[in-house]
Amino acid sequence: MSNEVQRWIKVTKVAKTTLVDAINLALAYEMAADPDVVLLGEDIGVNGGVFRATDGLQKTFGSQRVIDTPLSETLIAGMAIGMAAERLKPVAEIQFMGFIYSVIDQIINHATRLRNRTRGRLSCPMVLRAPFGSGIHAPEHHSESTEALFAHIPGLRVVIPSSPGRGYGLLLAAIRDPDPVIFLEPKRIYRLHKQDIEDDGQALPLDTCFLLREGQDVTLVSWGAMIHETITAAEQLAAMGMQSEVIDVATLKPLDMQTILDSVAKTGRCVIIHEAARTCGIGAEIAAQLAEKGLMSLFAPVERVTGFDTVMPLFQLEKEYMPNVDRIVAAAKRTLEN
């Protein structure tokens, strides 16, 4: 970054920042630093996004850089690919994950293979942001967690923040990454917790887990909003005399399995917690790799605490669908019985 740019980007500590504000700060920082960064999506400009993630950005950076698109999800993803091939750095928003499925065609057939099929002649440095997950009493189709669908796609990065600080740092990293990234924002915690963050443009590393709590009795692995239930469970377990190691996976693909294996080598027990349905969830992949590479470390079968293999219920039953602290504590205790 040039000195000139550095001078006019004010590095400030932003007190009591929510996740959604951290997303906004990261977008603003990178747009100021890099004129190639453009945003596109539905209602992101004048309206500032339905969750206000892009609030004020069109006013600051203009309607050519914060683009309100027609109501066309396939177009949004496809345009981002065409922009990225021209060396812009598009950050596209899909309003809710429930509307992302027509975009999978663009992701599988184009975004993730443009570099490979042209042997690097063209590439696709784009970010596709989408709010996801349950817990805000949203209408039908607004509460699913289908990150595993994306983690199956070769050539993609799937990133999920679990706090304002990681939202800020991981989004900056995603925008600067030379390859396509799906950045899924757990909307239940958009405004749930506040943190003081430095708006200094510092990215966090991708492709690596974050160790949030150290312990020697059991490893709790999760990501996104469920990190908060997981931490609460770890605190309850600690009160009962059991020390949990808590890992925030953060980048689901490519998966940093080494951090998880190292932890399980120490604890011998592992509980994987995710909101998404159980079958073929990311938990299945982690459990499979533990079986392949960490079996001799395990004192107990791996436990998974997940959503059910059912259609996401409408919101009167959403709490019954979601994993909760009690289920996590019970699973951890089961592993400790061995």
Q: How far is CA 140 from CA 137, 189, 220, 275, 281, in A?
A: 9, 19, 30, 17, 21
Residue number, 38 or 237, with CB nearest to other proteins:
38
Q: Decide if 323 contacts 307 (C-beta within 8 A).
A: yes
Q: Any idea of the CA torsion for 96, 81, 21, 208, to the nearest 10 degrees?
A: 100
Facing residues of 39 across strands? 66, 91
Facing residues of 40 across strands? 67, 92
Q: Which two tokens stand for residue 64?
A: 């050519």
Q: Decide if 209 contacts 254 (C-beta within 8 A).
A: no
- d(C-alpha 228, C-alpha 73), whole Å: 31
82 is a site residue for other proteins (CB under 8 A): yes
238 is a site residue for other proteins (CB under 8 A): no
Amino acid code (one letter) for 158: V
Amino acid code (one letter) for 318: E
If one counts every other C-beta atom within 10 angstroms of the C-beta of residue 232, the result is 14
* Residue 69 CB, nearest approach to other proteins (Å): 7
- d(C-alpha 163, C-alpha 22), whole Å: 9
The residue count for the chain: 338
Residue number, 38 or 225, with CB nearest to other proteins:
38
Catalytic-labelled residue, pool 110, 137, 142, 193: 142
297 is a site residue for other proteins (CB under 8 A): no
Nearest to 157 by CA among 248, 95, 65, 249: 249
Among 32, 43, 52, 78, binds other proteins (CB under 8 A): 78
Facing residues of 38 across strands? 90
If one counts every other C-beta atom within 10 angstroms of the C-beta of residue 334, the result is 15
Residues 254-273 close enough to bind other proteins by CB under 8 A: 254-258
Residue number, 89 or 188, with CB nearest to other proteins:
89
Residue number, 43 or 200, with CB nearest to other proteins:
43
246 is a site residue for other proteins (CB under 8 A): no
Among 9, 14, 75, 330, binds other proteins (CB under 8 A): 75
CA 288 to chain centre: 22
- Residues 144-183, one symbol each (x = binds other proteins by CB under 8 A, - = not), give ----------xx----------------------xx----
7 is a site residue for other proteins (CB under 8 A): no
If one counts every other C-beta atom within 10 angstroms of the C-beta of residue 221, the result is 27
* Residue 57 CB, nearest approach to other proteins (Å): 16
Among 32, 34, 123, 191, binds other proteins (CB under 8 A): 123
Residue number, 53 or 84, with CB nearest to other proteins:
84
Residues 196-235 close enough to bind other proteins by CB under 8 A: 207
Active site residue 152: no
291 is a site residue for other proteins (CB under 8 A): no
120 is a site residue for other proteins (CB under 8 A): yes
Among 7, 10, 121, 320, binds other proteins (CB under 8 A): 121
- d(C-alpha 68, C-alpha 65), whole Å: 9
- Residues 95-114, one symbol each (x = binds other proteins by CB under 8 A, - = not), give -------x--xx--xx----
80 is a site residue for other proteins (CB under 8 A): yes
For other proteins, the binding residues (CB under 8 A) are 38, 64-65, 67, 69-70, 72, 74-75, 77-88, 90, 102, 105-106, 109-110, 115-123, 154-155, 178-179, 207, 253-258
Q: Which residues are catalytic?
A: 142
